[in-house]
Amino acid sequence: MLEMAGVGRTFADGTAALTDLDLRVRRGEFVSVVGPSGCGKSTLLRLLSGLDAPTAGAVATAPGRLGYVFQDPTLLPWRTAARNVELVAELEGLPRGERRRRAERALALVGLEGFAHARPAALSGGMRMRVSLARTLVLEPETLLLDEPFGALDELGRERLNGELAELVARGGLTVLFVTHSVAEAVSLSDRVAVMSPRPGRIIGEVDVPLPRPRPPRLRFEPAFGRLAAEVSALLADPARAERESTA
Amino acid sequence: MIRPPGPSAPPAPTGLAVVAARPRRARTGGGALARRVPPLVTLVLFLGLWYLVSEVLLDDDRRFLLPPPHAVVAVAFLDPVNRAPLLRGLALSATVAAAGFAVAAVLGVAVGTAMSQARWVERSLYPYAVLLQCAPTLALVPVVGFWFDFGFTSRVIVTVTVALFPVISATLFGLRSADRGQHDLLTLHGAGRLTRLVKLQFPAAMPALLTGLQVAATLAVVGSVVGDFFFRQGTPGIGVLIDLYRARLQTEQLLGAALLACLLGVVAFSLFGLLIRFVTGSWYGSGDRPR
């Protein structure tokens, strides 16, 4: 479970990134946060992961393993794919044999069995992101924070990785907070979509997505999907009206 | 290492295919032949110019100003009377350079690492590291000589002062080269300073650090010869010999000594080139190497 209540984050130079932000993610829920670029989406994840502290309000994360997938793969170029995946297990002090075994399994989960000994420079952008995902999975997290993880990929690669992510989540019963600026991506993956205002960011509305799972790619051409996407887009397009409606 | 450009392409026949193919050849640098021919051509031109000046432009009585290459080799390297002191001098200078480089490497990495760990260390030391780098060796040498006598220790100290700064700055720059996301990842998993240095910062620093050490190694050779040149006492290294030959107008020996000093520097440089390839070749800069 993740919870943020009245959270604000103002940086040392006076810029307010977030203000009065409320957000709750229940156990086993998949929630996406969409918002215009620069609205503080990444700051939100940094606060939840403990990399940053709020200047107002309270942030609570349930005890348990937290996985964080950054916007960039952030791989260490001198390590092979397998050794990159092992890195966080090393940092958490797992014994060598256990690390090896887990890294192998995590790479298999993201479909990179044959690339354990490849260095990042030899991998494509999508493959690097898969390694990054495997690195997060190696500690068997209960909660996943994802920061526009596939934003740098082309649409096909992105769709495929999103599908695989949905599968992983469904299998593992993970709690997920997914940050993106793509409405379609948010709707197709989530149980609920939270919409953020431009900076200083706050949650200005939430849209439940009661579509059945598993959700095949063609789902996005169906009317129900379209209506939900339109609802999210409307909130994004007119934050002022969204706020009036939420207070009314 | 900077690779010399390939030989100029033959006059291109017309046609788009040829025009498109040329840049690719330039980028890959061609085969072994294309890599080795240009420096050889330069060498031949250089030797030709040398012979021209020495045999054609200089009169017999002024030929001592620039004796021809074969005379340098014959007098300085083939005559045992000159070869023996030159090789002894080379051995001494090489020892001084190696000792000075080792001290500069250890000290430089230690100081650079300390600076990377705390701003106040950097603020209190960096300006003086720059000052040391800028201090004229000419002025430094006599003072070091007064304090530590004119033996091995002083020569090593002078070498250290010449070679230290590139190591410090390369260490500092290298340790800072890991990006924020990589640091975040380590922070997320509770990595302390030491873990961060060992698992992230030092590996990330390797390309910069090794290049800095490579520069320092060649500077150490220069430092050992220059320091020696000013000391003129104690066992003669290359520098003392150079001064001696200069005073006696023994140009052949003088050029031979200079050549040996150059070779020593080139050997140091090349050894580091190999080390750099061995340590970081598999992951660093592979993006712009042709595959």
Highest mean pLDDT pick, A144-148, B57-61, B234-238: A144-148
Q: What is the pLDDT of residue B63?
A: 85
Interface touch B181/A51, C-beta < 8 Å: no
d(CA B121, CA B20) in angstroms, rounded, equals 54
Going B72 to B73 to B75 to B77, the CA torsion angle's sign is: positive
- Residue B60 phi, psi dihedral angles, 5° rounding: -55, -40
More confident residue, A72 or A241: A72
Specify the pTM.
Answer: 0.81
Our CA dihedral for A161, A166, A170, A176, rounded to 10 degrees, sits at 110
Question: Is residue A218 scored above 50 in pLDDT?
Answer: yes
- Look at strands A203-208 and A192-196 and give their pairing: antiparallel
- Residue with the larger pLDDT of the pair B8 and B259: B259
| Contact assignment for B185 to A74 by CB distance below 8 Å | yes
Residue B13: per-residue pLDDT: 41
pLDDT digits (tens, 9 = 90+) for A21-60: 999 999 889 999 999 888 888 899 999 998 999 999 999 8
Find, among B284, B160, B189, the residue nearest to A139 by Cα: B189
Q: Output the CA–CA distances (angstroms, integers) from residue B55 to A102, B42, B61, in the order listed.
A: 75, 20, 11
Task: Show Cβ contacts of residue B271 under 8 Å, excluding neighbours closer than 6 positions.
Answer: B217
Bridge-partner residues for A10, per DSSP? A16
Highest mean pLDDT among A164-168, A218-222, B97-101 belongs to: B97-101
Closest of A74, A1, A4, A88 to residue A41, by C-alpha: A4
Please answer yes or no on whether B181 and A68 come within 8 Å at the CB atom: no
Res B189 pLDDT > 80: yes
Tell me how far CA of residue A46 lies from CA of A41, A43, A129, A196, B182, in angstroms: 9, 5, 19, 16, 14
| Spatial CB neighbours of B173, under 8 Å, sequence gap ≥ 6 | B205, B208, B212
pLDDT band, very low/low/confident/very high, at A101 (cuts 50, 70, 90): very high
Minimum-distance CB partner of A70 among B184, B195, B284: B184
Contact B283 A51 (CB under 8 A): no
Quote the ipTM score.
0.88
Average pLDDT over residues B125-153: 85
Backbone angles phi, psi at B281, to 5 degrees: -60, -30
For residue B282, give the DSSP letter: T
Report in angstroms the alpha-carbon separations of A2 from A58, A175, A193: 11, 9, 15
Question: Token pair of B186, please?
Answer: 């380590």
Q: What per-residue confidence (pLDDT) applies to B110? A: 97
* Interchain proximity B199–A77, CB inside 8 Å: no
Q: Say if CB A94 and CB A144 are below 8 A apart.
A: no
Give residue B195's pLDDT: 95
Phi, psi of A129 (to 5 degrees): -65, -35
> Helices B152-175 and B80-117, interaxial angle, to 10°?
40
State which residue of chain B sits closest to A73, comparing Cα positions.
Answer: B181
Number of other residues whose CB lies within 10 A of the CB of residue B152: 16
Among chain B, residues having any CB pair with chain A shorter than 8 Å are: 179, 181-182, 184-191, 195, 199-200, 203-204, 206, 280, 282-284, 286-287
Q: What is the reported pLDDT for B229? A: 76
Q: Does residue A11 surpass a pLDDT of 60?
A: yes
pLDDT at A188 over 80: yes
Q: How far apart are CA B189 and CA B259, in angstroms?
A: 55
At residue A247, does pLDDT exceed 60?
Answer: no
Say which DSSP state A217 is in. Answer: G
Token pair 């909130």 in the structure block, residue: A235
- Contact criterion met (CB < 8 Å) for A72 and B181: yes
From the list B184, B186, B282, which residue is nearest A91 (CB)? B186
- Say what the pLDDT of residue B232 is: 66
Give the pLDDT band of residue B28 (cuts 50, 70, 90): low
The mean pLDDT value for B31-57 works out to 90
Lookup: tokens for A104: 């192998």
Least confident of A20-34, A163-177, B251-265: A163-177
